[in-house]
């Protein structure tokens, strides 16, 4: 019997960010392995014209939850959506709901955050810092609380090269920043933001670092742990391989590459691609929840959920495997044939951007204009390039994350728990994982039908022929122009033609002799 699964039985669990990528997989695993848990409270806001109930209904009726319905048929009754907006005071939770949360919660998983790299400092601080402080305050008023698990990111200290499982201090106290945001106006905040974030690459990683500091400062006598995942990718094994549902991180780039929009990337081919499957992160979270509640470590432990030091893969290997999968299972209606060119050189990268991205987009837009349609490719391309440039920082560096606590926890688990809550990334086969990942992007994110693969392959063949035709025509035009204008080009041309003629004559003569 799994000790961890048994631990969550009968428990009331509060999850923030349950409608997000990580949150959904966490709920799924909890319901599947501990169907006898009491209730999962989720803090949700209405979104995109959907009420809380509609949002929950949509999640529970998605493919991700198919297995859950078999083991926990009354899952609808065990999930309690509470209206909350984490950017508001007291999260705008009603008094009754707050009372229930305070008196019943046993475990908190705090996943909610803004993960946009370019969010405003005000909003990112509200979500990633102030909301964490507010939740800790609530936690301190929960008599039944056994553990508070805070989800940070492995990149919260990406201004360092080697990162240990400790909380690093930030140059400016989070409290000072929270206080100053109350009276500074938005224009001034945006002006001082670059000075505040110093050597952090973006507001997201900076505010996640502040969030960790808040956890350390406001922990009181709570049982807290921090988990730092690196780049969270599709599911590895559970509930099925390749599940993914948003375009963050690698997903958007995989689509852009598969559709042939993105054919070159400023990335160091040998840099470590520190991806971690979402189910691995969730298994670690549940194991940490159990360990923190049962063993009550004296201090706040930090756990790295990373792959680089145990089972490294680099961007080159990843790119090659992504392309190999697109050969077998192409995406539909590609703009160009998928191709990957990784370069860390500024000049080469700009060259590829002009030749491989901007020029084809402009040519295609001209074609759209000529055929009476609205041009759109340049806009799409600029958006993709903007996204790629936002991710560049992470694609051109490698970090070393120590994993002592994570490995210690692994050794504390029973063999059964090591199997059910497997977070040993050494067992991950990258080639198989990436293939399933790409397949998952096609099936679950783009919702493309597998029956369309022969047509997609046919389309790629047509694109290849157009490519050859275009290149030949371009070559001939350039050459013709050169010959018309330059004596030297004419000389070279005559030399090549006479050389070919002589070679052919010799070849013909020698083959006649043999006969
Ligand atoms: C040779 C090239 C091909 C290579 C082929 C092989 C592939 C190789 C393997 C794959 C490489 C993978 C590289 C991944 C690198 C990932 C590094 C991530 C680093 C993580 C650090 C920390 C990790 C975390 O802790 S948290 C989660 C990370 N957070 C994010 O990922 C959020 C990032 N996104 C943003 O901040 C914004 O979306 C932003 C700033 C990029 C764009 O904002 P903007 O307001 O301009 O646009 P949006 O409204 O958000 O979107 C507009 C438009 O763009 C599409 N889009 C959004 N994000 C992405 C994306 N990541 N990739 C591609 N496209 C994206 C979005 O769908 C919208 O499209 P519409 O059609 O207009 O709806
Ligand atoms: N994805 C990744 O690669 C990584 C993620 N992480 C961390 O993991 C955690 C989860 O990330 P992930 O699931 O990918 O992110 P998502 O963007 O998928 O999910 C974010 C969640 O936070 C919720 N949220 C955001 N703002 C509010 C608000 N004002 N009120 C209530 N809820 C809000 C969202 O709700 P709604 O659905 O309403 O928007 C959503 O449920 C984050 O803390 C992130 O920093 C760490 C490393 C890597």
Domains and CATH numbers, the chain: 3-239+273-311+399-416 (3.40.50.720), 457-514 (no CATH)
Minimal-distance CA residue to ligand 1 atom 67: 247
Rounded to 10°, the helix 186-197/203-217 angle is 80
Burial 97-111 (b: 16+ CB within 10 A, else e): bbebbbebbbbbbbb
Cβ of 23 closer than 6 Å to ligand 2, yes or no, is yes
On the 0-12 / 13-18 / 19+ scale of CB atoms within 10 A, 89 is: exposed
The pLDDT score that the predictor gives to residue 484 is 85
Sequence-ordered strand ranges (E) for 230-323: 231-233, 264-266, 275-277, 301-305
Bond preceding residue 216 cis, omega within 30 of 0? no
pLDDT digits (tens, 9 = 90+) for 322-336: 999 999 999 999 999
Q: Is the pLDDT of residue 265 over 60?
A: yes
Cβ of 50 closer than 6 Å to ligand 2, yes or no, is no
Residue 372 vs residue 220, higher pLDDT: 372
Mean pLDDT of 267-294: 98
Q: Is the pLDDT of residue 511 over 80?
A: no
The pLDDT score that the predictor gives to residue 514 is 60
Minimal-distance CA residue to ligand 1 atom 51: 383
Helices assigned H by DSSP within 198-230: 203-217
Q: Which residues contact 2 (CB under 8 A, 6 or more apart)?
A: 33, 414, 416, 417, 420, 421
Mean pLDDT of 156-180: 97
Q: Two tokens at 154? A: 């492995």
Confidence class for position 509, pLDDT limits 50, 70, 90: confident
Cβ of 386 closer than 6 Å to ligand 1, yes or no, is yes
CA dist 106 and 43 (Å) reads 15
Q: Which residues contact 334 (CB under 8 A, 6 or more apart)?
A: 258, 259, 260, 456, 459, 460, 463
The pLDDT score that the predictor gives to residue 515 is 52
CA dist 153 and 228 (Å) reads 4
Cβ of 445 closer than 6 Å to ligand 1, yes or no, is no
The pLDDT score that the predictor gives to residue 278 is 98
Q: Do residues 126 and 87 lie in contact, with contact meaning Cβ atoms separated by under 8 Å?
A: yes
C-alpha 39 – ligand 2 centre gap (Å): 21
The pLDDT score that the predictor gives to residue 513 is 62
C-alpha 18 – ligand 2 centre gap (Å): 8
The ligand 1 atom at the shortest distance from the C-alpha of residue 154 is 25
384 alpha carbon, closest ligand: 1
Q: Is the pLDDT of residue 171 over 80?
A: yes
The pLDDT score that the predictor gives to residue 15 is 98
**For the chain, what percent of residues have pLDDT higher than 90?**
90
Cβ of 17 closer than 6 Å to ligand 2, yes or no, is yes
Confidence class for position 1, pLDDT limits 50, 70, 90: confident
Confidence class for position 7, pLDDT limits 50, 70, 90: very high
Q: Do residues 117 and 193 lie in contact, with contact meaning Cβ atoms separated by under 8 Å?
A: no
Cβ of 376 closer than 6 Å to ligand 1, yes or no, is no
Cβ of 247 closer than 6 Å to ligand 1, yes or no, is yes
Cβ of 250 closer than 6 Å to ligand 1, yes or no, is yes
C-alpha 269 – ligand 1 centre gap (Å): 19
| Structure-token match 């063999």, residue found | 415
Average pLDDT, the chain: 96
Cβ of 109 closer than 6 Å to ligand 2, yes or no, is no
C-alpha 452 – ligand 2 centre gap (Å): 33
Cβ of 395 closer than 6 Å to ligand 1, yes or no, is yes
C-alpha 258 – ligand 1 centre gap (Å): 15
C-alpha 252 – ligand 1 centre gap (Å): 5
Mean pLDDT of 344-365: 95
Minimal-distance CA residue to ligand 2 atom 46: 153
Tell me which of 90-104, 214-228, 489-503 is least confident.
489-503
Tell me which of 22-26, 391-395, 455-459, 485-489 is least confident.
485-489
C-alpha 27 – ligand 2 centre gap (Å): 14
């Amino acid at each position: 019997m799994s000790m961890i699964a048994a631990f969550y039985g009968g428990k009331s669990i509060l999850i923030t960010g349950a409608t997000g990528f990580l949150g959904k997989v966490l709920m799924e695993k909890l319901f599947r392995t501990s169907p006898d848990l009491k209730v999962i409270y989720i803090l949700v806001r209405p979104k995109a014209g959907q009420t809380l109930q509609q949002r929950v209904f949509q999640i529970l009726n998605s493919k991700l939850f198919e297995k859950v319905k078999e083991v926990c048929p009354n899952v609808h009754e065990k999930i309690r959506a509470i209206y909350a907006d984490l950017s508001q005071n007291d999260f705008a939770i009603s008094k009754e709901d707050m009372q229930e949360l305070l008196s019943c919660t046993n475990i908190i998983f705090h996943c909610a955050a803004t993960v946009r790299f370019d969010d405003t400092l005000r909003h990112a601080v509200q979500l990633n810092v102030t909301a964490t402080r507010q939740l800790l305050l609530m936690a301190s008023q929960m008599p039944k609380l056994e553990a508070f698990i805070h989800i940070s990111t492995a990149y919260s200290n990406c201004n360092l090269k080697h990162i240990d499982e400790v909380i690093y201090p930030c140059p400016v106290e989070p409290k000072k920043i929270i206080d100053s945001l109350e009276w500074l106006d938005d224009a001034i905040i945006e002006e001082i933001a670059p000075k505040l974030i110093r050597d952090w690459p973006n507001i997201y990683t900076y505010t996640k670092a502040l969030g960790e500091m808040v956890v350390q400062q406001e922990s009181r006598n709570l049982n807290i742990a921090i988990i730092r995942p690196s780049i969270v990718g599709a599911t590895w094994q559970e509930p099925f391989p390749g599940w993914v549902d948003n375009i963050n991180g690698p997903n958007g780039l995989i689509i852009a590459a598969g559709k042939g929009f993105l054919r070159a990337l400023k990335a160091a081919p040998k840099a470590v691609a520190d991806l971690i499957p979402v189910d691995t992160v969730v298994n670690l979270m549940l194991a940490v929840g159990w360990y923190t509640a049962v063993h009550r470590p004296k201090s706040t432990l930090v756990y790295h959920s990373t792959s680089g030091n145990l089972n490294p893969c680099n961007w080159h290997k990843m790119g090659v495997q992504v392309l190999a999968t697109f050969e077998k299972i192409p995406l539909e209606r590609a703009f160009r044939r998928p191709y990957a060119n990784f370069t860390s050189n500024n000049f080469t990268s700009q060259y590829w951007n002009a030749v491989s991205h901007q020029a084809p987009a402009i040519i295609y837009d001209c074609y759209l204009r000529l055929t009476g349609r609205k041009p759109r490719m340049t806009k799409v391309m600029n958006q993709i390039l903007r996204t790629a440039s936002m991710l560049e920082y992470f694609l051109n560096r490698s970090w070393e994350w120590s994993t002592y606590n994570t490995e210690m926890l692994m050794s504390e688990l029973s063999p059964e728990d090591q199997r059910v809550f497997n977070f040993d990334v050494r067992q991950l086969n990258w080639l198989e994982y990436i293939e399933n990942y790409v397949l998952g992007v096609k099936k679950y994110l783009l919702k493309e039908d597998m029956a369309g693969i022969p047509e997609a392959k046919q389309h790629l063949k047509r694109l290849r022929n157009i490519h050859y035709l275009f290149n030949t025509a371009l070559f001939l035009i350039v050459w013709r122009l050169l010959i018309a204008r330059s004596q030297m080009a004419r000389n070279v041309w005559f030399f090549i033609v006479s050389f070919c003629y002589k070679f052919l004559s010799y070849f013909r003569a020698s083959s006649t002799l043999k006969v």
